[in-house]
A and B are shown apart, each in its own frame.
Chain A
Amino acid sequence: MTRLPQPEVAVHGLAYATETRTLVHDVDLCTASGEFVGLIGPNGAGKSTLLRMLARVLPRTAGTIRLRGRDLDTFSAREVATNLALVPQTAPYTQGFHAVELVLMGRYPHLGRLAAESAADIDTAMDAMCLTETDAFTDRTLETLSGGERQRVFLARAMAQHSRVLLLDEPTANLDILHQLKILSLVRRFVDEGLTAIAAIHDLNMASRYCDRLVALSEGRILAQGEPVAVLTPAILSATFGIRAEVYADPVTGSPVVSPIGPADDQAHTHETIQGEEQHG
């Protein structure tokens, strides 16, 4: 699926270990620009750790990360911020900032140290808020927003950051189904326009529908990667999540749909399955 010879993000031998345990083992990953990569895997598989290392928020213990061929370590802190935008999993303390002030923070890496935001920066922020449908609460403090609303404000900030690569840690957690669809369609649209997105996504069917490629992680290792139809197979799902699942093509969208049946070791269930044609499209 590589559309460009130069990969946007190329990761080699990436690892993260604490004194007591290794959270990410020897990860190799390569994404072309204009690709939407979904990270799937159970809790604690290392998805967030991987994303945080990619954003250079967490120092890795081994491996290299290249951004369009250039070693990420040679980027200044500001360059990293203008190239990679991270949407955190849980919105942290928000200190009474208004939603629009938070979105404007996405412009900080583009501004001089003592410069205030220009009218153009404010326009950029408002555009991002419009796209994420957060413009209704620009002047509300983040404490007064629901989890999903906050999530969308943080996504708006990542968009205002104008980075080529979006790193999203469960962007649809806490969101209702309508906003899950809206957010992922939006990310898809940005990707179709040339951005690259790497997102940890819990909902396998959403991941299957929107991502170009899935990476299955378990216990810090990549078990499989490829197009959704190649990764979402009963064998890989069993190895990754420890579940028994069947996969069939969605009759409407054609993307693979995972139908979980039970824990993999649950022998009580027989193979009463929906024998879907496991063909994509």
Chain B
Amino acid sequence: MDGQHTLRSFRRLSVGTRLAVGLPVLSVLVLATGLVSLRLGPVPINTLEVVWAALSTVGLDGPSIDRTAQLVIEQIRLPRIIVGAAVGMALGLSGTAMQGLFRNPMADPGIIGVSAGGAVGAVTAIAIGLVDLFWLALPAFAFIGAALALLLVYGIAAVGGRISMATLLLAGVAVNAFLGAVISAIIYLIPSEGPLREILYWLAGGLDSRSWDHVRIALPPIAVGAATLALTARDLNLLALGDDEARSLGVRTGATRTALLAASALVTGSAVAVSGSIAFVGLVTPHVLRLVLGPDHRVLMPMSALGGALFVMLADMAARTVIQPAEFRVGVLTAFVGAPFFVFLLIKNKRQVYTL
């Protein structure tokens, strides 16, 4: 009761204050989760060693530590955690953008077909055996698939000139269904069992054996997309109210919407390319944060980036520990934990959740 009241008062603070409090809090949580996560694993490493190893990886030399510990941190755990954070960030950002853009709380990063397109690309690369030839084939195919799916959805919605969000949404639904069928067909038609397991594994979404290569291919596009979304956050407040609203308050709706869609597709495509389909993060993160922070995208956008990162990092931490020494799929865990939590929130805040 008391906590609820505090949350509602926080919602009333100015944009600057909400960010000034919220960003450091979430950043500290992200860093702390990262540190704890670096400690976890079959090779025991203490916190101090973790810190030194992490610092030396980014070029800051501290006291030298155990060689194995250094390698485990540098080559296995750190890149994996960074990829997880980047993916979560991407999903949080694009989920927020999609919910605002489509004026629909059901919207998630996959709504414009990008995730399904990425999945078809990846599944194809696995099925035809390209992945065994060179590792980059998987993310490259996933990314191309994501881009093609977006163009297809956008192209369908653009038939006849003006793009309406309703047609975009429906085109997304149709393309998602179609691409789902394509994946099923590929799985059905694959002759051998080997790639099948790999495909199912990839479709569940995961962060295992992510390397610095994955960091390098995912981070730049996610950074570009994040910057674009940050610049358009205020316009998104107005676009979420309606096109007339936005235009009468000085937003160039066409250009802004295209920028928002492209940026969301870019970050989602990059995330899918390095982690597969991690479910639920893009849907649930903006919702949870909106309850506390309100709907202003200038606050919601950066906070959802950090919130998404935190969500995926926690899920990854759990995935690595719950059934040790084996590993759970991160994408399965996010939905496993995320869905019930989301339902709990919905019931608890039935009155606060905005109606559309």
User: A9 on the interface (CB 8 Å rule)?
Assistant: no
Chain B 231-271 interface mask (CB, 8 Å, partner A; 1/0): 10010011011111101111110000000000000000000
Knowing A93-B103, A109-B250, A117-B15 are in contact, say whether A143-B244 is a contact too (CB < 8 A). Answer: no
Of residues 8 to 40 in B, which have CB atoms within 8 Å of A's CB atoms? 11-12, 14-16
User: B296 on the interface (CB 8 Å rule)?
Assistant: yes
Could you tell me the distance between the alpha carbons of A122 and B243 in the complex, rounded to whole angstroms? Answer: 25
Query: Which single member of A56, A93, A141 contacts B240 (CB below 8 Å)?
Result: A93
Could you tell me the distance between the alpha carbons of A52 and B103 in the complex, rounded to whole angstroms? Answer: 22
A-B contact count (CB 8 A): 92
A97 touches B296 (CB 8 A): yes
B290: chain A residues within 8 A (beta carbon): 96
User: A101 on the interface (CB 8 Å rule)?
Assistant: yes
User: A98 on the interface (CB 8 Å rule)?
Assistant: yes
A95 touches B231 (CB 8 A): no
Could you tell me the distance between the alpha carbons of A93 and B231 in the complex, rounded to whole angstroms? Answer: 23
A116: chain B residues within 8 A (beta carbon): 14-16, 298
* Chain B interface, number of residues (Cβ within 8 angstroms): 33
A55 touches B103 (CB 8 A): no
A141: chain B residues within 8 A (beta carbon): 354
B12 touches A93 (CB 8 A): no
* Chain A interface, number of residues (Cβ within 8 angstroms): 37
Query: Which single member of A57, A93, A101, A108 contacts B294 (CB below 8 Å)?
Result: A101
B88: chain A residues within 8 A (beta carbon): none
Q: Would you give the shortest CB distance from A155 to chain B, in whole angstroms?
A: 13
A58: chain B residues within 8 A (beta carbon): 244
Closest residue of chain A to B232 (Cβ to Cβ) is A113
Q: Would you give the shortest CB distance from A213 to chain B, in whole angstroms?
A: 23
User: B60 on the interface (CB 8 Å rule)?
Assistant: no
Of residues 114 to 163 in A, which have CB atoms within 8 Å of B's CB atoms? 114, 116-117, 122, 139, 141, 143, 161
Closest residue of chain B to A112 (Cβ to Cβ) is B234
User: A77 on the interface (CB 8 Å rule)?
Assistant: yes
Knowing A105-B237, A105-B238, A108-B250 are in contact, say whether A96-B244 is a contact too (CB < 8 A). Answer: no
Could you tell me the distance between the alpha carbons of A95 and B252 in the complex, rounded to whole angstroms? Answer: 20
Knowing A55-B248, A77-B252, A78-B250 are in contact, say whether A113-B234 is a contact too (CB < 8 A). Answer: yes
A95 touches B249 (CB 8 A): no
Closest residue of chain A to B248 (Cβ to Cβ) is A86
Q: Would you give the shortest CB distance from A32 to chain B, in whole angstroms?
A: 23
Of residues 28 to 68 in A, which have CB atoms within 8 Å of B's CB atoms? 52, 55-58
Could you tell me the distance between the alpha carbons of A109 and B235 in the complex, rounded to whole angstroms? Answer: 10
Chain B 202-239 interface mask (CB, 8 Å, partner A; 1/0): 00000000000000000000000000001100100110
B238 touches A93 (CB 8 A): no
Closest residue of chain B to A87 (Cβ to Cβ) is B248
A205: chain B residues within 8 A (beta carbon): none
Residue from the set A81, A113, A116 with the largest chain B CB neighbour count within 10 Å: A116
A98 touches B294 (CB 8 A): yes
Query: Which single member of B100, B241, B248 contacts A85 (CB below 8 Å)?
Result: B248
A111: chain B residues within 8 A (beta carbon): 234
Could you tell me the distance between the alpha carbons of A147 and B20 in the complex, rounded to whole angstroms? Answer: 35
B241 touches A108 (CB 8 A): no
List 7 A–B pairs whose Cβ atoms lie within 8 Å, in order of A's numbering: A57-B243, A88-B245, A94-B354, A108-B238, A111-B234, A114-B231, A116-B15
Which 6 residue pairs of A and B lie closest in terms of their CB atoms, listed nearest first? A81-B250, A96-B354, A92-B242, A86-B248, A109-B250, A78-B250
